[in-house]
Amino acid sequence: MDLQTLSDRIEIADLLTRYAHAVDTKDWALYRTVFTPDAAIDYSETGGPSGGVEEVVAQLTTMLDLFTRTQHFVSNIDVEFTADGARVRAMFFNPMVVKPGRQFFCGGWYNHELVRTPDGWRSRALVEDAAWFDGLEQAFAE
């Protein structure tokens, strides 16, 4: 593996870390730095929004207010470099707290299409694939 590939892989891992940090801290300005302005984002498989960056940010802002705490763990990052960027599939584990004693967990994969920009790697497309949920009904029970 050459130095450019190593550097790219580190930068891509940093991008995924920035993504997780932005969502968990609800830092929507930081979230926007993960994506190209024209990115397509699709969280629909997990019941989330789908659309452009601004549309998704508006919906996530409201949706994530339901949770007192969230945490994203991103791992097993598989990078396939292409002629104009990279395809990335990474696992996520996401514990979420609705209120004390009411929490649930989910896991799945983030599928990104990345491009190199003057500001570094950015996602031009993200599709979230859900693998499992645990405790969802109990977390939202009355």
With contact defined as beta carbons under 8 Å apart, do 23 and 71 qualify?
A: no
Domain 3-139 has CATH 2.40.160.60: no
Residue 59 burial class via C-beta count within 10 angstroms: exposed 0-12, middle 13-18, buried 19 and up: middle
Q: Is the pLDDT of residue 138 over 80?
A: no
What is the residue-averaged pLDDT of the chain?
Answer: 94
Q: pLDDT tens digit string along 59-108?
A: 999 999 888 999 999 999 999 999 999 999 999 999 999 888 789 899 99
In angstroms, what CA-CA distances link 17 with 31, 62, 98, 139? 11, 22, 23, 26
- Distance in angstroms (rounded) separating the CA atoms of residues 119 and 92: 25
The CB density around residue 23, as the number of other CB atoms within 10 Å, is: 19
Nearest Cα to 136, choosing from 36, 66, 37, 75?
A: 66
What is the reported pLDDT for 1? 83
pTM above 0.85, yes or no: yes
% of the chain surpassing 90 pLDDT = 82
Confidence of residue 142 (pLDDT cuts 50, 70, 90): low
Q: Is the dihedral of CA 6, 124, 30, 41 positive or negative?
A: negative
